Structures are given as C-alpha cells and as structure tokens.
Structure 1
Amino acid sequence: MTTTTARATRGHADGGAAGAAGAPARARWTWLGVGAGVLGIVATMFTSPNVGSDRVGPEALAGLSRGQLQLGGALGYATVALLLVLAASWRVKALATTRGAVAARVVADGLTASAAALSLGYGWKLALALYLPGGINENGFTTDGQFFYFMLNDFGPFIGYLGVVVAAGAVAWLSLRDRLVSRWLGLVSLIPPVAVLFMSGVLSIAGFPGIVGPIWLIVAFAGLSLGSHELLGTAKSQPDSRRVSGSGSLGRR
C-alpha cells in the first residue's frame, strides 16, 4: 500500500489565521538584516577616519574626531549583535525549508564570520578613540602607537564584511540554482561577490566588501521581508508532482 509523501510544512513567521486563509505570513526576523545594513553603513562609511591625503603620517591624528570614532565603534558593536541574531534566526527559520542545502548553511556561516571579524574592526575604532587626546587612556600610547591604530582603521571595518559578501553569493545560489528565493534577488546577490572579486583581484582593494556588504544586507533582507520566497514559506504553494510518490521505501508500509 502506498501513501502520499510530502515535504514538511513550512513554518510561517506567525503561522496563524493568515496561513489558514491561504495568505502566507511575512517573516519579521528578516528585518534584522536591514537594521544591520543601515547601522553598518553609518558605523563603517560615515565614521571612517579619512584625512584626504596621499601621504599619511602621524600628523594626520590631529585631524581626527574622537567622538566620531567612538560613535562608529559603538554602532559597529550593535551591528555585530544584529548579525549574530540574524545568523541564528536564519539557522532556525530558514534551514528547515532548504532540504539540507549547503548554500543555506553558508549564509548563516558567512554572517557569523563577518560578525567575528567586525568585532575586531570596530574594536580597533574604539581603541583609537580611547587613546586619542580626550580619551580615558590618552596617555597610554605615544603618537606612533596611536598611528598604528589609525592604520588598522584604514580598512579594518571594511574587510570584515567579506563574510556578508560570501553570504550574498550563497543567496544567489539558493535563487538561481535551488529556486528557493526569487530570481531578481538572486541576480542582485551576484553583484557583491563579482564586484569584490574584481576589485581585489584586479585593483588589490581590500576594503570593497565594506562598501557592497551593508548595501546588500538592506536590499536583500528588505526583499526577503516584503517578497514571496519559498525559502521563507511566503510563496504560495504550487502543485508539485514530487510530493506524490507510489514507490520508494518512505511511501510503503
């Protein structure tokens, strides 16, 4: 005797009356990605210690804003926290619908890797603010020591978004290969890894992940929040001949 086999019912964000009425509920946890992207842009781009010179030396420290650096580091730590919660939410909410897809695991791992790297990048920004004149430990380092932290801040917070770029590539795979995410989002998600590959391989620019990574977080997770995606259970169910099987060990008893 054969029985009908089906994939596990996808859990919706709220899973209540909306699902019963045939309108999948929207995921709410995905907005964490939008928040991480917004905070990341402010913490990375708008608080970067840019002195606008081609030959930078210790004298550049005089042009830095300690308050700006401190704000960037604090917002950066908040960004790290959001990325960690986002990665955990992805593992709990999204992995259940991917049927063991490796790419889905790479998304969570990439977000976690960026959170770890950005903890250092934004920590160096806070350290620079700590040792500059006006900081609690302003006498802790000489000008040369302060300049060392300045150099770490040149690309430090920008490099940390490489994991986010890898996550973007995994989302592109989930879209274009596994058909679990809408096609437009897959095409958009191809841009960060291709751009970073070009900028690093051709121009040796290490910090480009910090430019495209936060922007991708905003666009991609807003799209996941508002669009229809099989990955999140927000796409209307379609008939699937694979759900009915008259053979195989799972279909027999």
Structure 2
Amino acid sequence: MTATDAASAVRTASAPDVSSRRARWPLFGVAAGLLGAVATLVTDIHPEGYPEGFTPKVISDVSQTKAHISIVAGFLVVALLLVLAGAWRRRVEPQVPGSTAAHVVSGALTASAAALTLGYGWKGALAVYLPGGMDAGAFDRAGLYVLFMLNDFGSFIGWLGVVVAAGAIAWMALRERTVSRWIGAVSVLPVLVVTGFVSATGLPGFQGIVGPLWLAVAFLGLSFGRSPIVR
C-alpha cells in the first residue's frame, strides 16, 4: 500500500468520527506541553544576577520551592507522555501500518519520557537537599553545586525525543498526507530551530524551550482539527 492509498483509506475510515465529535486522546499531549512549560521554563532554577558566570556561591540563590514544583510538574509530564505514546500506538498506528514515521512518534515520546525522568529527578534532588528540603544539610555547598550543574540542562535535554516526534508528524503531514498540512508546517519549525542551534553552537537544550510549545499546539490541532488519522 502506498502512502497515498493509506491516506485515502484513513480519510474514509475516520471521516464520520471527525465530523461527529472531537478526539479527546490528543489532549494528553496538550496537557503534557503546558505542564512541560511549567516544569522546564517557569520553574527554571537559574537565578539572575550572575553576569560573570555561576560559581558555588550561586547555591544561596537557588529556589528550593521552584525545584520542588518542577519535579512534581515534571513527573506528571512523564506520565502524560507515556499515556500519549500508548494512545498513539493504539489509535493511530493500526490505521497506517506501513508508515515508519507513525511508529517513530510513539517511540520518540517514550524516549523523552525516560530522559525527562532523570532530568526532573535531579530537580527533585535539589528540592530535597537545599535549605528547606526534607534532607537539608546532607550535602555541603560543593555537593549541591554538582546537582546545580546537572540541572543546567537536565530538564531541557530530554525534550529531544519530542522534537523527533515533531519531525515524524511533519513527514506524515507533508509527505503521507495523514495529518493536516498546517500541523506539518508547524512541526517542521522545532526541528529546524533545534538542528540549527546544535549545529551552530553545540547548545544541547533548546528543545526544552520549543518542545513543550510544539506539543501543546500540535496536539490541540489534532484534537480540534480534521487530520485523517484522528478518531
């Protein structure tokens, strides 16, 4: 079966469902994106006022509250990504069994969930050991500084799998025509931006900025739009 034939079959099978009701399962992706923005960006633990770079004295200004909120929101993101991957495998992949890109999406979301478990887990370690935490005082400033360094990009790097999923969905939209083309166009952007930053500067974490936003927008479009694969 060619990609065109698969797209036609999916459109025929899913048309009644799209017209009669909106799919709810993509909302797991919307929730993961919004919570991801909170866990990664809103609760970023980098304090301001260090123009010459971070040294161990930065520990005095790291927010234990932000680190605590981040791990709670972050672990919810991990759970939502895993549920989303499972829903994608159940509802989308059987419709397009010949699409490699469709199978990449669920694998990439699962990969991000695994990596983000560690990234947000390091935020939790800071929440536990910083002043005000459950085990405050268990590490000296040097030990806390090591955890701070791990958190420099820890909760950002793991979003790479989500950007890979964006690339796969872009392929499904623009090549296989099983996803709305505007979602495909939006999905190309994080791939290009992350690739550009990594290639030009070596920056490892820009996906943590664009990944959550893409996830929320793209899956909101899948839920309320007319993509053939959604039912």
Note whether the superposition's TM-score is higher than 0.5.
yes
- Is the 1:97–1:232 Cα contact (8 Å) retained in structure 2? no
**Larger CA deviation: 195-204 vs 135-144:** 135-144
* Matched letter for residue 31 of structure 1: L
- Is the 1:88–1:108 Cα contact (8 Å) retained in structure 2? yes
* Matched letter for residue 38 of structure 1: L
User: 2: CA distance between counterparts of 1:230 and 1:132?
Assistant: 49
Please point out which of 38, 44, 49 is paired with 1:48: 44
Please point out which of 147, 150, 156 is paired with 2:148: 150
User: 2: CA distance between counterparts of 1:232 and 1:222?
Assistant: 12
User: 2: CA distance between counterparts of 1:224 and 1:23?
Assistant: 13
- Is the 1:166–1:193 Cα contact (8 Å) retained in structure 2? yes
TM-score (norm 2): 0.91
Please point out which of 113, 122, 125 is paired with 1:124: 122
Aligned: 1:97 with 2:100: no
User: 1: CA distance between counterparts of 2:54 and 2:136?
Assistant: 21
- Fraction of identical pairs, as percent: 48
**SS of the counterpart of 2:44?**
coil
Aligned: 1:203 with 2:214: no
* Matched letter for residue 85 of structure 2: A
User: 2: CA distance between counterparts of 1:10 and 1:119?
Assistant: 37
Q: CA deviation at 1:56?
A: 0.7
Q: CA deviation at 1:60?
A: 0.4
Q: Which has the higher helix share?
A: 2
* Matched letter for residue 125 of structure 1: K
Q: Aligned pair in 2 of structure 1 residues 7, 179: CA closer, same or farther (>3 Å)?
A: closer
**When the two structures are aligned, how many residues end up with a matched partner?**
221
**Residue 34 of structure 2 aligns with which residue?**
38
* Matched letter for residue 130 of structure 1: V
Q: CA deviation at 1:24?
A: 4.2
User: 1: CA distance between counterparts of 2:179 and 2:132?
Assistant: 50
Larger Rg: 1
User: 1: CA distance between counterparts of 2:116 and 2:97?
Assistant: 31
Matches within 5 A, 1:173-212: 173-212=171-210
**SS of the counterpart of 1:177?**
helix
**SS of the counterpart of 1:232?**
coil
Q: CA deviation at 1:25?
A: 2.9
**Residue 216 of structure 1 aligns with which residue?**
214
Q: Which segments of 5 or more consecutive residues in structure 1 lack a partner in the other structure?
A: 1-5, 13-17, 234-253
* Matched letter for residue 200 of structure 2: V
Q: Which segments of 5 or more consecutive residues in structure 2 lack a partner in the other structure?
A: 1-7
- Is the 1:104–1:171 Cα contact (8 Å) retained in structure 2? yes
Matches within 5 A, 1:154-169: 154-169=152-167
TM-score (norm 1): 0.83
Q: CA deviation at 1:135?
A: 1.3
**Larger CA deviation: 131-140 vs 65-74:** 131-140
Q: CA deviation at 1:164?
A: 0.1
Q: Aligned pair in 2 of structure 1 residues 7, 185: CA closer, same or farther (>3 Å)?
A: closer
**Residue 15 of structure 1 aligns with which residue?**
none
User: 1: CA distance between counterparts of 2:54 and 2:120?
Assistant: 21
**Residue 87 of structure 1 aligns with which residue?**
85
Q: CA deviation at 1:137?
A: 1.4
- Is the 1:172–1:186 Cα contact (8 Å) retained in structure 2? yes
**Residue 59 of structure 2 aligns with which residue?**
61
**SS of the counterpart of 2:136?**
coil
**Larger CA deviation: 137-146 vs 114-123:** 137-146
Matches within 5 A, 1:2-13: 7=9, 10=13
